[in-house]
Amino acid sequence: MERIYLDYNATTPLSKEVFDFYVKELGEYANGSSLHEDGRKVAASIEKARKQVAHLINVDPKGVIFTSGGSESNNTVLNTMPEYAKKAGRSVIVTTAIEHPCVLEASRRLANNFGMEVIYLPVDEYGTVDMEAYKAALEKKPLLVSIMTANNEIGTIQDVKTLCAMAHQAGALFHTDAVQAVGKIPVDLKDWDVDYATISGHKIYGPKGIGALYIKPGSPIEPLIRGGHQEHGLRAGTYNGPAIAAFGYAAELAEEGLPEYEKHTRALRNRLRDGLLSAIPGIKINGHETNVLPNTLDVSFPGAEGEAILLHLDLLGVSASTGSACASASLDPSHVLMATGLGPELAHGSIRFSFGKYSKAEDVDYIVEKFPPVIEQLRKMSTVSYTHN
């Protein structure tokens, strides 16, 4: 049987169009910095991709640099802060408790190795940033605020435009990790007026190992990787021309396909949500009801354990996830769900289904048919007795 892939937030396949284009581009081997004709040809396709990526997020292409992905882009912004702190004579950073591990780990380093103060904003039960806590944090005159546009586990979308305006009012720079938002909801960085933004190729049907960082002209930035003069000296290393070109094409397709993508994934997400709610008693849908990514459904199954559920889903031919892929090697409950106030039992028994371009209604119907008996069985086996009411 064909497997059912419902883990698009962990990564997407290359779309069929991007696959064919990328394979063709792999033959373009020249160094994009070389001055000869072969090099100039690669440089031209890199500049085309820069325009395509910039257009997707509505910024000036001059502000876009290519990186190895979302993790590198996020690290580049945060690792700029120690130098900037020295110049500015301030050292507070504000982020949230539900960021991707690459933001949390890079922030932890700023606190541990550079004596900076990092404030991790709490969120409410839906995953929305606590505004009172944010206002209080801004009183401390932070250098930088870093808040993700949409969460990878529960899909909750933040009001980036308002959060950014508040940061600017308080004299802080604003960064958003928009990796999960682009291609799923409209992302207009010019309107939001952010200073930095992160996006990644493999979350929008492009290649892995390629991404971009948007830097508003004039905003401070220190290269993470030093060496050659590529990307105005902000990111050294020979251009990965084929991956950049394919990322650009993926960005163009993501922009074109956005309305259809939203509609398609939302219908499937809601079909699964409604199917599970009517077939399995006592379950809880996590995240915000309306400010949520159209493709993301995170569900707690009290009385059953996440890893066991995942294994059974796997046996049924379904690929889903417990929380974030990056944290799944550890058995700690999801930091995102814990931040929304779920107890460890519910947080442990949670599954993220994330839909995409190639998901189908019959996949959902198959799960709604086969999955409830599995939960019933797991609940019976569970050592913690479970009663719902």
Q: Which residues pair with 65 in a beta bridge?
A: 213
Answer whether 43's CB lies under 8 Å from 33's CB: yes
CB of 67 to ligand PLP, least distance (A): 9
* Binding test (CB under 6 A) with ligand PLP, winner from 50, 90, 100, 379: 100
Answer whether 359's CB lies under 8 Å from 345's CB: no
User: In angstroms, what is the C-alpha Rg of the chain?
Assistant: 21
* Binding test (CB under 6 A) with ligand PLP, winner from 177, 195, 255, 363: 177
296 binds ligand PLP (CB under 6 A): no
Selection from 276, 284, 296, 297 nearest residue 347 by Cα = 284
* Binding test (CB under 6 A) with ligand PLP, winner from 142, 183, 206, 211: 211
Q: Is 326 a catalytic residue?
A: yes
207 binds ligand PLP (CB under 6 A): no
**Dihedrals phi, psi of 374, to nearest 5 degrees:** -65, -45
Question: Given 88, 170, 225, 326, which residue is catalytic?
Answer: 326
179 binds ligand PLP (CB under 6 A): yes
180 binds ligand PLP (CB under 6 A): yes
CB of 148 to ligand PLP, least distance (A): 6
Binding marks (x or -) toward ligand PLP, 251..280, rule CB under 6 A?
A: ------------------------------
* Binding test (CB under 6 A) with ligand PLP, winner from 65, 143, 147, 148: 148
Structure tokens at 57: 């997020």
334 binds ligand PLP (CB under 6 A): no
- Kindly identify the residues of this chain, within the stretch 336-365, that bind ligand PLP according to CB under 6 A: none
Residues in CB range of 352: below 8 A, 6 or more apart: 7, 9, 153, 154, 296, 297, 298, 320, 321, 322, 323
d(CA 219, CA 233): 15
Residues in CB range of 353: below 8 A, 6 or more apart: 6, 269, 272, 296, 297, 298, 299, 320
DSSP 8-state class, residue 93: E
What residues are labeled active site? 326
Contact residues toward ligand PLP (CB under 6 A) are 69-71, 100, 102, 148, 152, 177, 179-180, 200, 202-203, 211
